Structure 1
């Protein structure tokens, strides 16, 4: 079984995403629930994004947890190569080229069927850039931000000129950090900004 944790987490917290087909189309579909998730996306002016995601997952079928944890035995280079393969397929739906520049993941077993996963990825081309304007739009993707334990944060460079932010965030900090939490099914934020 070959799959990438970050993409699993993306699907766990998002719905309506084509990435589901990348790794859920295995003989044993993962039967999991998200207990908490914190997703942080930090963008630059070139379309690069740094993703830091922390998620606690409950496995309804504990035997699937063993399969899930096996990927952490792979060397870092192999994990990154597998992740690049999945990201390349994912990027096709946005007609973009996405390049994984860094990928790190850890999993901590919290109980017989609970795992805490911490992921860090740097992906060039994650957002579109046209005429100097960065656009974080990801099409029809949605986050499921149900409950106070789920949040999504998008951070753009300090001092960036914000053209638009959709949907309206739950809160913002300093004019460049936008937070959505406990908002139910929420479209992936579309922030347009430039220098």
Structure 2
């Protein structure tokens, strides 16, 4: 879609500045180090925030699974806000990069670091999905295949994705 049908949506404006110079090896290594340190700090902050969130969830009478959803929302909030701001400024490419980069960082970096921290702190780590969430995941993958395979996305398909997300939120809050 970025190279053919909707190419104009992803082009940089005429007045916009182009890419800067490529980073040096030193700056790349420094950035990787700071990214790793930042992820560890975010994980430790999420762990520190967890008791307050657990207390609020218990007081509200919600199941403990809501704690994980709230912590994930807090962790993903900066990238989510960046994506929304870029979308409001009609910067589709920046918005997609922030959203997809956030998902990639969550899956590709956060989970391994959480695993390493849980091993270091000798805390059990459970990443399993209950049957309801597994069914929703499979349904989401199936609908995503239909959405992206046609080469054209409609508001109806977006609505179906939002309904599936709403069901996920409902099943998390009221199992």
TM-score (norm 2): 0.24
Higher helix share: 2
Structure index of larger Rg: 2
TM-score (norm 1): 0.22
Higher strand share: 1
